[in-house]
Homo-oligomer: A and B are copies of this chain.
């Protein structure tokens, strides 16, 4: 048995989410989170860069798995299909944590600072996907456009999935939303209608 209770980081994450749900993000102090986890404020900031980051610890792993999925797509696939495969992989991960993802989303969407952090995580994911596309020979601006468009689709799909009462799979909503983006952008390069 160690000198301290194990899993300090996990206890902080759990305590933070509980408190953010109970009284809201702004009304919660870092000292309170640390106290509920039986730690000190200083230790909180050794594990997480700031008060928001405690809710976004899994985002690097999600990005890694999306990028790996993109790298695994056959070279013959189009950029947008490669991005779609990566997003469906990410969707599958969130699907497995469905209850947690929804609770977390409720907290994040209730606060502007947390939404900002979410957006920069998505932008970082887009940059990672664009870089992976360039590795497979896609040029600019096609790589960035495919990645950013994919993230746009993912944002819309996630919002629908969270709001829906039924039990469709997130990956399915992503596929459907991508199809609707294709419909809305149209294929021709100069046309209207």
Q: Could you pull out 5 A-B pairs where Cβ atoms are within 8 angstroms?
A: A146-B185, A148-B153, A149-B149, A182-B189, A187-B187
Copy total for this chain: 2
Tell me the nearest residue of chain B to A148, going by C-beta.
B152
Q: Which residues in B have their C-beta under 8 angstroms from that of A182?
A: 185-189
Tell me the residues in window 152-190 of chain A with beta carbons closer than 8 Å to chain B beta carbons.
Answer: 152-153, 155-156, 159-160, 177, 179-190
Size of the chain A interface, CB-CB below 8 angstroms = 41
Helix, strand, loop or mixed for chain A's interface?
Answer: helix
Segment of A25-33, A96-104, A115-123 engaged in the interface with chain B: A115-123
Segment of A10-18, A78-86, A87-95 engaged in the interface with chain B: A78-86
- Asked if A141 is at the interface (CB within 8 A of a chain B CB), the reply is yes
Q: Which residues in B have their C-beta under 8 angstroms from that of A77?
A: 192
What separation, in Å, do the CA atoms of A188 and B119 have in the docked complex? 29
Q: Which residues in B have their C-beta under 8 angstroms from that of A1?
A: none
Residue from B115, B142, B189 within 8 A of A120 (CB atoms): B115
- Asked if A112 is at the interface (CB within 8 A of a chain B CB), the reply is yes
What separation, in Å, do the CA atoms of A193 and B156 have in the docked complex? 24
Q: Which residues in B have their C-beta under 8 angstroms from that of A177?
A: 141, 145
